[in-house]
Amino acid sequence: MSSLLICAVALFFLGMGLFGLVAPGALIRPFGIELTGPEARAEIRAVYGGFGVAVGALLAWTVLGAAGGLRSGVVLTVAVSLAGMAFGRLVARAVERPSAFCPSWFYFWVEATGAALLISCA
């Protein structure tokens, strides 16, 4: 069961990463951010695209044959990273107080759930 949960989180990262590489403007648009030049698109491709693909591949590798201690370390590291992102969204909510629906809440729940799933697998 833990391999299935890890694969689910890996697929999320891979999907986000590939989307970020192919369509960086579309990925970031729900947040009201416009990418006005090649430098901005390159940054989204790197941070959301390349990083997402790398984390997804790393998680997939843990399922396909990483040694026990290494697998647990990778899974826990990604879980803590997701928990940190979710925490950052809570801080942003308290500081920024958006007045309308904010897509950050969707990602908060994705990150919090992903962290919980991975912690249960670590």
Which of 88, 22, 107, 20 shows the shortest CA–CA distance to 55? 20
Which of 38, 59, 47 shows the shortest CA–CA distance to 20? 47
Averages of pLDDT over each 10 residues, the chain, 122 residues: 92 96 94 92 96 96 85 94 95 82 84 95 85
Count how many domains the chain has: 1
pTM equals: 0.86
Domain range enclosing 107: 2-121
